[in-house]
Amino acid sequence: MGRGQLVASSKSSLTVLTLGAIGVVYGDIGTSVLYAFKEVFASGHVPITHENVLGVLSLFFWALTIIVTIKYIVLIMRADNHGEGGLMALLALASISVKDNQRLRRVLLVVGVFGVALFFGDGVITPAISVLSAVEGLEIATPAAKPYVVPLSLAVLFVLFMMQRRGTSDIGKLFGPVMVLWFLVIAILGVVQIASNPHVLVAISPLYAFHFGATHFGVAFITLGAVFLCLTGAEALYADMGHFGKEPIRIAWFSLVMPSLMLNYFGQGALVLANPKAAENPFFLMSPDWALIPLVVLATAATVIASQALISGAFSATKQTIQLGFLPRLSILHTSIRDTGQIYIPAVNWTLLAGVVTAVTLFGSSSALAAAYGISVSLVMIITTVLTFFVLRYGWNYPLPLCLFSTAFFFTIDAAFFASNSLKILQGGWFPLVMAVGLYTIMSTWKDGRRLLNAKLRADAIDLTSFLEAVFISPPTRVAGTAVFLTADQGTVPNAMLHNLKHNKVLHAINLFVTVRNHEVPWIGLSKRVEIESLGHDCWQVLVNYGFKNDPNIPKALQQLRGRGCELDAMTTSYFLSRDIVIPTIGGGMAQWREKLFAQMHHNASGAAEFLQLPNNAVVELGSKIEI
């Protein structure tokens, strides 16, 4: 292939990735034009005057510029974990950066895990508010449509969640083109309004934002909660970095997404200046009558795409959380034979659907949901800023003054947005906080319960090397084939082996003692996947390493042992697992209710055989009871 062909191929790949980024990464922030500007004036706190409209537009412009462009595009996206982004990847990176300070590491883990819990709360509200705000456009066409907005929104959401099992590999190809059309349409709508009142563009000057804040300090503070809605979805730039890369995400933002958003917001401002009554729903009122229904259809499609991206992100985040040990094993189905990142987790899908239905029926309108929306996202942004400081200071060893200045600047802005959103806790902000606290309780209980369970197992454990030496003084009958014993603690005798010797009184010709170790990095390459150590007598100790984005597959990993002194035949290999039953006890450990919760989660967790992709016809499970 010649150099010209390589350059053409590289440009083609970059174009495809940029198109994909527009479809997946920018759906959430791209559909915020439906409700963000409207919510500033919806409460009635901000009078619709020439100065106020320009001041609000200036706040929108500089919020997008400072938080999205400078914070995320320029700074945060540099903090990649081996090419991966997102709060879970950043948490792992920050945790590794302070690994020598165990107390600080534990604090960061608590903060980061709560941030992940907030992200799942966002996964409930985003589909609800986005689809509701799109379908509400029908009310502009005819007020008679108002009673049907909630049922239609629920119908769209039901179809969306029902489709998850089939995957997004086919329909996903349409995401990019549909979102490109969406951004072009909202840009054109804005340009038409700006053309009738170009004076509105003076709001680009930050002086208008400062003047609005200085003359209406209390009102401006309250308004920040609504202004913040234009930033929802900014986390996706960082979270989806591993899928598309930094350059396509940056190109998409500067070439299409940011200009389109700015033009539309300024267009809404121009319309409201010309007709203050349009503040009721400025986005749809920008549309000519003949284009209103097609615009509602396009807006609904765009919000479905935005919701799909967030649902897919919730599946990926759940898998990573399981790998890092904060959630029990769940059934994970792969929906694509080509892309291993496309997964479907039934338990997460139906839990999200239940949350979304609750949100839509409980709040009933996008305006009511807007009060619930900002608080979780603003908290996630604060947590991201805090974790970034520790990566800059301890991971990259930047000078302390530089780290403090860069993160304190963004922390102050994030904190102001959060403080403003906190005023709406009673109006709906409690909803994502309750969900986050509930999920954090589950995640922390699982982590602490696993720690107690492992400590109990270690206390009762028998050293593997000493045990084998004793066994082979008078060895039991050896039978043909290979036995693979899964053990959580390397170097100890698996309970499954003790039970096998006790009941069957035989030992296989080849015995592997396999421990799976999950690391706080996204990927572990094949060259570092398997470590093997001979214990003599055709017994081997094997360590299998995975990153939190790798798909565990023990049979596939063990194939790498060929040529290293240990030959396995898949047809004669059996996998022995210990199925522990947890018994809560009074005193010590965790609170009684947490021990009961952990025991129930442990009981309901999907089997290790399914999670590790062991062949169903070659698995032997032996149970034991453990008190914690």
Q: Tens digit of pLDDT for each residue in 123-156?
A: 888 889 889 988 988 888 778 888 889 999 999 9
pLDDT greater at residue 564 or residue 469: 469
pLDDT score at 264: 96
The residue type found at 377 is: V
pLDDT score at 371: 78
pLDDT score at 338: 56
Q: How far apart are CA 412 and CA 404, in angstroms?
A: 11
Q: What is the mean pLDDT of residues 499-504?
A: 83
pLDDT score at 6: 36
- How sure is the predictor about 5, in pLDDT bands with cuts at 50, 70 and 90? very low
- How sure is the predictor about 361, in pLDDT bands with cuts at 50, 70 and 90? very high
pLDDT greater at residue 143 or residue 440: 440
Q: Domain residue spans in the chain?
A: 14-448, 460-627
Q: What is the DSSP string of 225-262?
A: HHHGGGGTTTHHHHHTHHHH-HHHHHHHIIIIIHHHHH
What percent of the chain lies above the pLDDT cut of 90?
33
Q: What is the mean pLDDT of residues 238-262?
A: 88
pLDDT score at 7: 40
The residue type found at 457 is: L
Convert the pLDDT of each residue in 336-358 to its tens digit: 655 555 678 888 999 999 999 99
Architecture per CATH, 14-448: Up-down Bundle (1.20)
Across 206-215, 233-242, 334-343, 578-587, the highest mean pLDDT is recorded for 206-215
pLDDT score at 77: 86
Q: What is the mean pLDDT of residues 318-344?
A: 76
Residue 616 has pLDDT above 90, yes or no: no
Residue 610 has pLDDT above 50, yes or no: yes
- How sure is the predictor about 9, in pLDDT bands with cuts at 50, 70 and 90? very low
Q: Among residues 266, 285, 314, which one has the least CA distance to residue 121?
A: 314
pTM of the prediction? 0.82
606: which DSSP letter?
Answer: P
The CA distances from residue 111 to 34, 368, 384, 475, in Å, are: 32, 28, 10, 52
- How sure is the predictor about 8, in pLDDT bands with cuts at 50, 70 and 90? very low
Q: How far apart are CA 617 and CA 611, in angstroms?
A: 15
Rounded CA Rg of the chain = 28
Q: How far is CA 598 from the centre of its chain?
A: 23
pLDDT score at 3: 42
The alpha carbon dihedral of 212, 215, 219, 222 has a sign of positive
Mean pLDDT estimate for the chain: 86
Q: How far apart are CA 31 and CA 181, in angstroms?
A: 13
pLDDT score at 11: 57
The alpha carbon dihedral of 253, 259, 264, 270 has a sign of positive
Spatial neighbors of 56 by CB under 8 A, at least 6 apart, are 37, 40, 46, 212, 223, 227, 269
Residue 177 has pLDDT above 80, yes or no: yes
- How sure is the predictor about 1, in pLDDT bands with cuts at 50, 70 and 90? very low
Residues facing 577 on adjacent strands: 621
Residue 2 has pLDDT above 70, yes or no: no
pLDDT score at 170: 57
pLDDT score at 424: 86
Strand order in the sheet with 530-536: 530-536, 539-546, 506-518, 477-486, 573-583, 619-627
The phi and psi torsions of 415 (rounded to 5 degrees) equal -65, -35
Residue 293 has pLDDT above 80, yes or no: yes
The CA distances from residue 234 to 107, 225, 240, 249, 402, in Å, are: 25, 16, 11, 11, 24
Least confident range of 11-25, 37-51, 335-349: 335-349
